[in-house]
Amino acid sequence: MAYTEEELKKELETKEYEYGFYTDIESDTLPKGLNEDIVVAISKKKEEPEWMTEWRLEAFRVWKEMEEPEWANVTYQKPNFQDISYYSAPNKKPKYNSLDEVDPELLETFEKLGISLEEQKKLAGVAVDIVMDSVSVATTFKKTLAEKGIIFCSISEAIQEHPELVKQYIGSVVPRKDNFYAALNSAVFSDGSFCYIPKGVRCPMELSTYFRINQAGTGQFERTLVIADEGSYVSYLEGCTAPMRDENQLHAAVVELIALDNAEIKYSTVQNWYPGDKNGSGGVFNFVTKRGLCEQNAKISWTQVETGSAITWKYPSCVLKGDNSIGEFYSIAVTNNYQQADTGTKMIHLGKNTKSTIISKGISAGRSQNSYRGLVQVNSRARNARNFSQCDSLLMGNQCGAHTFPYIEAKNKSAQIEHEATTSKIGEDQIFYCNQRGIDTEKAIALIVNGFSKEVLNKLPMEFAVEAQKLLEISLEGSVG
């Protein structure tokens, strides 16, 4: 296809959300509003033990006292928290053992999304724990995992079956009073994934969860807890698509990762919630708290491809507590039309010889605003801490904005910190160089955009890279190619 930058811009502006559709499944939905009764009701519906109910109630009390944060570089109509239904679950809920028993309508939804369970089972070797409107309805490959002693299930199941693990770790990395949305999530989280890798086990496959918001007017409050015991390894994938809605939908997830001594967690996200139409109406509000804790020699690596959501507010962070631990953050954030993204990371260096790497690529088009906000903090005991950060922004069109807000705090003379950021458009000289080598302008633009994001795309696991490529194609890359 022959494209010029002009055409690309036009295409971007008119590009409608390709994954927008709505499946009609009867849902069991709680009345709108939030109070202690609702919190108790959610807990009851999930048949949770009393300590969990108490835990939620306490979070709710904290949340009531908190104010919605305003420091992010985004503007939006604040959600009315009393106008949201906090629980909805597909109500035909038999326990499936095979795919044949799954509601065919549901299967059709996955089909449209391009997630064929059978295919994935056979080809990709990915165990998929699908969250359809808050309650997990299908889990595959459980048996293979169980043989290794790996627990991979929904968090409600984990609360029932592994209360000791949940009790010990939930809220240990993201405390209930951490921030407004984390507190809200702690009070009302409906479901999410739980994963435990025992000592010394290398998880043989990529663990993956697909999230979808399906029921109109229900916020999705996911809670994910991943625990990698000493010396273990896991790669976890999370991907999101949401059906088209006019009304803003709230998504406030919490993800906690715990990497014990010598463990490694790789957490990859492809986020493609509905971004709103080209006039900026509708779209998902994505307020996510993600944080990982590294013990000695542990490593946590976040990779994200953010293409969706009307508002993104997301800072996957690493607390490098143990000596020699490593934190990584690789991100591509693409905003188009009226999308607003304020995303970045926090690297908190506490232990000796801790290392962190931040690579953030922002691409803004249309009338969107794309901000990088990050913190690198080296505490006085973190001797020989090392950080490298790079934030690059690419602007397409003259009505979008790219912003960088890096905070760097060093309290230690042995710390070595580097930060660099650039903002540019696709350079005429770059295109000229390509032309000179016999590459036409259209191809050159494709090449440059590709090259700009490849550094991060390469960090995605093989199984996921295809999906990510596809989403980037929809948002940007494919339009040029």
Which parts of 14-166 are beta strand (E)?
Answer: 27-29, 88-90, 127-132, 135-139, 151-154
Nearest to 272 by CA among 23, 464, 79: 464
For β-strands 369-378 and 340-343, DSSP reports them as parallel
- The burial of 118, by beta-carbon neighbours within 10 Å (0-12 exposed, 13-18 middle, 19 or more buried), is given as exposed
Cα–Cα distances in Å, from 49 out to 42, 54, 57, 391?
A: 12, 9, 13, 45
Give 138 or 359: the residue with its C-beta nearer to another protein.
Answer: 359
Q: How far is the CB of 380 from another protein (least distance, A)?
A: 6
* Distance separating alpha carbons of residues 351 and 420, to the nearest angstrom: 24
Q: How many other C-beta atoms lie within 10 A of the C-beta of residue 400?
A: 22
Give 266 or 355: the residue with its C-beta nearer to another protein.
Answer: 355
Cα–Cα distances in Å, from 144 out to 22, 121, 124, 327, 360?
A: 33, 11, 14, 29, 36
Q: How far is the CB of 445 from another protein (least distance, A)?
A: 14
Q: How far is the CB of 353 from another protein (least distance, A)?
A: 15
- SS3 of residue 120 by DSSP: helix
- SS3 of residue 259 by DSSP: strand
Give 201 or 382: the residue with its C-beta nearer to another protein.
Answer: 382
Contacts made by residues 425-431, CB under 8 angstroms, sequence distance 24+:
425/394, 425/395, 425/396, 426/5, 426/394, 426/396
Give 76 or 405: the residue with its C-beta nearer to another protein.
Answer: 405
Q: How far is the CB of 319 from another protein (least distance, A)?
A: 19
Give 252 or 363: the residue with its C-beta nearer to another protein.
Answer: 363
Give 193 or 370: the residue with its C-beta nearer to another protein.
Answer: 370
Cα–Cα distances in Å, from 158 out to 151, 241, 363?
A: 9, 25, 39
Give 243 or 344: the residue with its C-beta nearer to another protein.
Answer: 344
Give 136 or 370: the residue with its C-beta nearer to another protein.
Answer: 370
Amino acid at 310: A
Residue with tokens 């809605």: 245
- Segment holding 457, helix H or strand E: helix 441-457
Q: How far is the CB of 228 from another protein (least distance, A)?
A: 31
Give 21 or 432: the residue with its C-beta nearer to another protein.
Answer: 432
Q: How far is the CB of 431 from another protein (least distance, A)?
A: 13
Q: How far is the CB of 340 from another protein (least distance, A)?
A: 14
For β-strands 151-154 and 193-197, DSSP reports them as antiparallel
Q: How far is the CB of 216 from another protein (least distance, A)?
A: 36
Give 177 or 403: the residue with its C-beta nearer to another protein.
Answer: 403
* Distance separating alpha carbons of residues 181 and 251, to the nearest angstrom: 9
Residues in the site for another protein, rule: CB under 8 A?
A: 71, 378, 380, 393, 395-425
Give 162 or 425: the residue with its C-beta nearer to another protein.
Answer: 425
* Distance separating alpha carbons of residues 418 and 357, to the nearest angstrom: 10
Q: How far is the CB of 283 from another protein (least distance, A)?
A: 22
414, 378 in Cβ contact below 8 A?
A: no
Q: How far is the CB of 383 from another protein (least distance, A)?
A: 9
Q: How far is the CB of 411 from another protein (least distance, A)?
A: 5
